[in-house]
Amino acid sequence: MKPLRPSELMPSDKALVPFVSVDNMMQLIHHIGVEPMLRDLAAYIEDDFRRWELFDKTPRVASHSDVGVIELMPTSDGEAYGFKYVNGHPKNTREGLQTVTAFGLLADVYTGYPVLLTEMTMLTAMRTAATSAMAAKYLAPKGATTMAMIGNGAQAEFQSLAMKALVGIKTVKLYDIDPKATAKAARNLAGSGLTVISCTSAEEAIEGAQILTTCTADKANATILTDNMVGAGVHINAIGGDCPGKTELHPGIVARADMFVEYPEQTRIEGELQQMPADHPFTELWKVITGTAQGRRDARQVTLFDSVGFAIEDFSALRYVRDAIRGTDLYADLDLLADPDDPRDLFGMLQRSKG
Amino acid sequence: MKPLRPSELMPSDKALVPFVSVDNMMQLIHHIGVEPMLRDLAAYIEDDFRRWELFDKTPRVASHSDVGVIELMPTSDGEAYGFKYVNGHPKNTREGLQTVTAFGLLADVYTGYPVLLTEMTMLTAMRTAATSAMAAKYLAPKGATTMAMIGNGAQAEFQSLAMKALVGIKTVKLYDIDPKATAKAARNLAGSGLTVISCTSAEEAIEGAQILTTCTADKANATILTDNMVGAGVHINAIGGDCPGKTELHPGIVARADMFVEYPEQTRIEGELQQMPADHPFTELWKVITGTAQGRRDARQVTLFDSVGFAIEDFSALRYVRDAIRGTDLYADLDLLADPDDPRDLFGMLQRSKG
């Protein structure tokens, strides 16, 4: 980045905010390695789930329009403050644009100064997969080796590699209503060390799988898994039901499974839980991680992680990136904060900048 | 800015977000001129006040700590969506840091894509002054020539020049409890075309002034103006009372004046209005601008603009900057949004980026 001010007017270190671009993020992932970074992210997320109670948790601040939604997801642990900007515009795909774009910011609570601005589309894909795998560590049956991946869109490869890195999955069975999506995922996973089996039906994909991951893009209530498809002892990792009116599982499965959730207030309006009566039981995942609630109880139990994505996971990912870029050149310093020598002399700073 | 990706992987135009740094903003102000830009900003703000009812108005989303607050202030007019990040840390000054830093983002509601990221410390100083002067156009006595500027901190020069540009003020009388602040403002305003009179008491400053602007930094309830200091026919522009527990005026003045506010729900907890009973009458400024409520009624009336700053003013300022940077080189393109050719192939984009 070229110097943005004459050197005698250079802002102080604190007035410069490290910025991680999309390209920087991709190079950071390559620098660390996809699987090691998924493991690291899961460790940061797990740390924050252990500290769940001290977080300032607020629901997303959403601005809805006829064609989509723009959301801010803020949270704080009392030391750092983070938020993610994310939009959701299903019609964008038809116009050659992304359905979801995201970026995030981390700030120091003590000074209020931002300390990191970063792309979060790649990072959200990584943190979503890391969260799924972290949950599966506690909930999947012991010795699980095979995952069915139903829905082979943008999350499919990240989910597969996270389950490999954290849970030890060796085989992934892919299925999508669009065979081109399955072919894309199979191609991308070639050489990953996973045995990849492309399937032509959901039934075929889930046969012999101990973990069933659903991540489909349908906006409406859909039934990706019907009740008779799910046998005893599996773990369901439901990623795709993540907004009001969008679910993936037959209510019979949801009723039969033991449900684990991130933030109940949000899951109730966005997750599979929206299909259930208000008194439907669930367990908060953070309680399993701290040991105050039980995860998987026995080998025949059906567990369901009803994942919708929560601000704390983004916060963990932001903390991780802040730490991971230290000592690298995978960021640029943005001159984002006005920083006069005398705080009362903002106008003098303006006058002196006249070239 | 150096190219961030190999050219064959360059993101599309929409994936690049124009970024206006602090230096860019200062050069933009010089390029346009301080007073012309204050006039332009006031016109954008006035346009948005005319459209007040169609805005999505939510209170700020605040995260408080023992030492300060971090706030997000979002709003939307249905076409564009904007938010400002702003912190308030009074103790920062003692540590050589700014009390307030700010940046903002504008996005397209139709696509959800950000279209502008900009510093907002300089810009907020400009929009605050432009809003004050816009209000004074409707509320100050006709033919006002003299303003008392009580509190000579970061806003003082901006307020003085906005009142010159929009209301025709020719003389500004400065007073601050710290004579160094007054000397700083007087020095900065030399050559501006304003007659600048430095005063040693608030009483001296307000003598002969038709507009009384208060902008002091005290956090506690203070009485910058006492009841007997305010005669008939003046307009009070109260800027400094802008958070809970922070007021500047004696309740007797507030009771006697006709009060004009931005967003009543916010003014009630942050402005001078917090001193008054719940049924204290006020007029919303946007109604004066659209002609559905009366502004100044007669020459002897005391008018009070109880300004706390509202998200719509930031939105107007963001719209203005988006338009003003077109055709200039006063921004850099940030590679903020991941943009795979096939939205489902985020992982393939990551793989292909491996250098």
Comparison of pLDDT for A152 and B225, the residue scoring more: A152
In a domain, residue B262? The reply is yes
Nearest CA in chain A to B3: A1
Q: What confidence score (pLDDT) does residue A241 get?
A: 64
Element (H, E) at B194: none
B214-231 average pLDDT score: 79
Separation CA A19–CA A5 (nearest Å): 18
pLDDT at position B270 over 50: yes
Q: Are B350 and A29 within 8 A, CB to CB?
A: yes
Encoded amino acid at B335, one letter: D
Q: Is residue A115 within 8 Å of A147, Cβ to Cβ?
A: no
Q: Which residues pair with B80 in a beta bridge?
A: B108
Report yes or no: B103 and B117 within 8 Å, Cβ to Cβ: yes
The more confidently predicted of residues B6 and A353 is A353
Residue A58 sits at the chain B interface (C-beta within 8 Å): yes
Residue B225: closest CA among B248, B207, B241: B248
Q: What is the pLDDT of residue A218?
A: 64
Strand, helix or coil for residue A169:
coil
Residue A155's closest CA among A184, A179, A194?
Answer: A184
Residue A7 near chain B (CB below 8 Å): no
Element (H, E) at A305: strand A303-306
Counting every residue written for chain B, the total comes to 355
Q: Is the dihedral of CA B57, B104, A60, B60 positive or negative?
A: negative
Residues A235 and A147 in one domain: yes
Residue B43 has pLDDT above 60, yes or no: yes
Q: Is the pLDDT of residue B265 over 80?
A: yes
Residue A108 domain-assigned? yes
Q: Do both B139 and B164 map to the same domain? A: yes
| Tens of pLDDT, residues A249-299 | 888 999 999 999 999 988 888 888 888 888 999 999 999 999 999 999 999
Instruction: Compare B245 and A143 and report the one with higher pLDDT.
Output: A143
Q: Which of B346, B351, B352, B353 to mutate to test the interface with A (most CBs of A within 10 A)?
A: B346
Q: What is the mean pLDDT of residues B197-208?
A: 96
Adjacent-strand bridge partners of B197: B173
| Residue A2 confidence (pLDDT) above 70 | no
| Neighbouring-strand partners of residue B334 | B17
Question: pTM value?
Answer: 0.91
The percent of residues in chain B predicted with pLDDT above 90, rounded, is 73
A48: three-class secondary structure by DSSP: helix
* Per-residue confidence (pLDDT) for residue B266, from 0 to 100: 85
Question: Could you give the 3-state DSSP secondary structure of residue A111?
Answer: coil
Buried b (16+ CB within 10 A) or exposed e, A59-85: ebbebebeebbbbbbbbbbeebbbbbb
User: What residues of A are in contact with residue B4 (Cβ under 8 Å)?
Assistant: 21-24
Is residue B242 flagged as an active site residue?
A: yes
User: What is each CA distance from A252 to A227, A255, A262, A269, B174, in whole angstroms?
Assistant: 6, 5, 21, 19, 74
Res. A9: pLDDT tops 70: no
Q: Does residue B141 have a pLDDT over 50? A: yes
pLDDT bucket at B218, cuts 50 / 70 / 90: low
Spatial contact of B213 and B148, defined as CB atoms under 8 Å apart? yes
Q: What is the pLDDT of residue B248?
A: 83
Confidence of residue B10 (pLDDT cuts 50, 70, 90): low
Q: A177 to chain B: which residues are within 8 Å by CB?
A: none
- For A110-133, how does the pLDDT look when each residue is reduced to its tens digit (9 = 90+)? 999 999 999 999 999 999 999 999
* Tens-place pLDDT, residues A30-40: 999 999 999 99
Dihedral of alpha carbons B303, B309, B310, B316, sign: positive
Supply the CATH number for residue B262's domain. Answer: 3.40.50.720
Its sign, for the CA torsion B314, B315, B320, B321, is positive
pLDDT at B301: 96
For B48-52, what is the mean pLDDT? Answer: 97
Label residue A93 exposed, middle or buried (CB < 10 Å: 0-12, 13-18, 19+). Answer: middle
What does the pLDDT read at residue A270? Answer: 83
* Of B57 and A115, the one with more pLDDT: A115
DSSP 8-state assignment for residue A249: B
d(CA A249, CA A143): 25
Of A88-92, A343-347, B215-219, which gets the smallest average pLDDT?
B215-219
Strands A69-76 and A61-64, by their bridges, are antiparallel
* Amino acid at the residue B294: Q
Interatomic CA distance for residues A276 and B157, integer angstroms: 60
Mutate to test the interface with B, among A14, A159, A336 (most CBs of B within 10 A): A336
Domain span including residue A51: 13-122+312-352
Looking at the predicted structure, is the pLDDT value of residue B241 above 80? no
Provide the pLDDT for residue B344: 87
Closest CA to A136 of A33, A38, A29: A38
Residues A82 and A103 sit within 8 Å (Cβ to Cβ): no
- Same domain, residue pair A112 and A253: no
| Residue of B19, B37, B79, B347 to mutate when probing chain A, most A C-beta within 10 A | B347
A156 shares its domain with A295: yes
Closest CA to A184 of A207, A167, A160: A160
Say which residue, A7 or A168, is predicted with more confidence: A168
**Averaged pLDDT of chain B:** 91
Cβ-defined contact of B346 to A122 (cutoff 8 Å): yes
The residues near A20 (Cβ < 8 Å, ≥ 6 apart) are A28, A116, A117, A118, A119, A321, A325, A330, A331
Whether A17 is covered by a domain: the verdict is yes
In whole angstroms, give the CA distance from residue A100 to residue A125. 11
- Render A202-229 in DSSP notation, one character per residue: HHHHHTT-SEEEE----SS---SB-GGG
The CA distance from B132 to B125, in Å, is 11
Whether B220 shows a pLDDT value over 80: the answer reads no
The verdict on B96 and B170 lying in the same domain is no
CA distance A18 to chain B (A): 13
The answer to whether residues A161 and A302 belong to one domain is yes
User: CB neighbours of B282 closer than 8 A, spacing ≥ 6?
Assistant: B259, B260, B261, B264, B267, B273, B306
Same domain assignment for residues A141 and A181: yes
In this structure, are A255 and A317 located in the same domain?
no
Q: Which amino acid is at B290?
A: T
Q: Which of A279, A280, A284, A271 is nearest to A238 (CA)?
A: A271
Closest residue in A to B69 (Cα) is A112
Give contacts of A157 with chain B, Cβ < 8 Å. 347
**Are residues A199 and A254 located together in one domain of the fold?**
yes
Which residues 105-134 in chain B show a CB within 8 A of chain A?
105, 107, 109-114, 119, 121-122, 125
Count of Cβ atoms closer than 10 Å to residue B160 Cβ: 28
- CB distance from A153 to chain B under 8 Å? yes
Q: What is the mean pLDDT of the segment spanning A346-354?
A: 94
The predicted-structure confidence for B61-107, as pLDDT tens digits, reads as follows: 889 999 999 999 999 999 999 999 999 898 888 888 888 899 999 99
**pLDDT per residue as tens digits for the range A202-230:** 999 999 999 999 998 766 667 788 888 88
Please report whether residue A218 resides in a domain. yes
Same-domain pairing of B295 and B327: no
Strand partners, B71: B62, B86
Task: Note the pLDDT of residue B44.
Answer: 98
Q: Quick one: CA dihedral B310, B93, B89, B74, positive or negative?
A: positive
Q: Is the pLDDT of residue B1 over 60?
A: no
CATH number at residue B79: 3.30.1780.10
If you average pLDDT over every residue of chain A, what do you get? 91
Residue A20 within any structural domain of the chain: yes
Spatial neighbors of B83 by CB under 8 A, at least 6 apart, are A72, A85, B72, B73, B74, B75, B104, B105, B311, B314
Residues 6+ apart with CB under 8 A from B239: B128, B132, B151, B155, B159, B213, B214, B215, B307
- A162 band by pLDDT with thresholds 50, 70 and 90: very high
- Cα gap B178→A246, rounded to integer Å: 60
Q: Which of A24, A74, A187 sits opposite B63 (nearest CB)?
A: A74
Length of chain A: 355
Residue A128 lies in a domain: no
Contacts of B355 in chain A (CB under 8 A): 27, 30
Whether the CB of A297 is below 8 Å from some CB of chain B: the reply is no
Answer yes or no: is B217 within a domain.
Answer: yes
Task: Give me the residues paired with residue B81 across strands.
Answer: B76, B107
pLDDT of residue A7: 40
Sequence-distant (≥ 6) Cβ neighbours of residue A191 within 8 angstroms: none
B336 in a structural domain: yes
CA-CA distance, B314 to B73, in Å (whole number)? 9
Predicted confidence at residue A167, as pLDDT, reads 98
Residue B185, min C-alpha distance to chain A (Å): 8
Q: Are B338 and A121 in contact (CB under 8 A)?
A: yes
- The alpha carbon of B66 is separated from its chain's Cα centroid by a whole number of angstroms, namely 25
The single residue of A48, A176, A242, A314 carrying the catalytic annotation is A242
pLDDT in tens, A61-70: 889 999 999 9
Average pLDDT over residues A75-87: 95
Residues A146 and A277 in one domain: yes
Average pLDDT on A94-103 reads 87
- Quick one: closest CA in B to A345, which residue? B154
User: How many folded domains does chain B comprise?
Assistant: 2
Residues B259 and B204 in one domain: yes
